[in-house]
Each structure stands twice: as C-alpha cells, then as structure tokens.
Structure 1
Amino acid sequence: MANPNKAIPSPRKYDKAFKGEALRMLDEGQSVAQVAKNLNVSEQLLHTWKHAHKKQIQKQVGNSELLAENERLKAQLRRAEMDRTAEAA
C-alpha cells in the first residue's frame, strides 16, 4: 500500500537549450522514439514540445504578415490623404 504521506516527485524541468536540442534532433530527421530514448524523455513530451514550437512559428509568421499589412495600409492612407490635400488646393 502506498504511503499517503510520501511526497509526489515534482515533474522534471527542462531549460530552453535542452528543448532546443531535442527539436534540432527531430528537425535533422531523427525519430521521436530515437530522440526520446537518447534524451531520456517521453515521446509524448517531445510531441508536446514539437506542437508548441510549431504554434509559436505560426504565430510569428502571422504577426509578421499583420505588420506588413499594417505598413501597406498606412502607406495607402498617406497616399489618399496627399491626393485629398492636392485636390483641395
């Protein structure tokens, strides 16, 4: 029977460098199973990191597209304001 007073071990923490190395290994073509075994982590954890990284990249791409669209619209607005000013003169 398990001891109810025994502390449950806290999950192991991994720094950005460790996660980055794991993702690099996956990007180089190693399988999730290989990387998990080599780094002594679960395959599920690697899938979680991989998914989170993919979402972060997609967010960054989306943000850069929004910034580019914002700049395009600002330039369009400036041209329209200059045209309006020129017509009023």
Structure 2
Amino acid sequence: MEKLLMFIGEKKGNILDVGCGLGATTSYLLKYYSPAEVFGINISAKQLERSTVNAPGCSLICMDAVQMEFEDDFFDNIICV
C-alpha cells in the first residue's frame, strides 16, 4: 500500500477505493484521509457488510465499477487494489 500511495502526492480530498472487498485497503487509507473523504465501492453487498467493520465511518456503496454513479470530478484520487 505504501508503494501505491507514493504515487499520490498530497493526500487530500476525496478518494475512491474501487472493488474495496472486505475493506482492508479502505481501512489503510484512514492513515492518510478522514473517514468522510474515503469512499469504497464493491459489487458484493455481503463483502460490504464486513467492510463497515474494517473501515468505520467511510462511505461504502454497493455498486458495479463498470457503471459508477458519481458526479464528474467528485474524486481527487481513485485506487484499485
């Protein structure tokens, strides 16, 4: 994660974790971002249930990454692990 996050200069603004799974990566983002800035999407509602435990306070949404429904320019950074 640290190597991936090195590509993000200033860690500010909203960040999206695409395919957040069980929330391990999403949880790691909390070292650099506030929960209000961290969003995770996953196609599995069952996995998102666990994500809420691993990444408390983050916005976790059941959504297909192929058909994302966010405003243009809403995120400052997007990651997918």
Q: Which has the higher helix share?
A: 1
TM range (shorter): under 0.3
Larger gyration radius, structure 1 or structure 2: 1
TM-score, normalised to structure 2's length?
Answer: 0.25
TM-score, normalised to structure 1's length?
Answer: 0.24
User: Which structure has more RCO (C-alpha within 8 Å, separation ≥ 6)?
Assistant: 2
Q: Which has the higher strand share?
A: 2
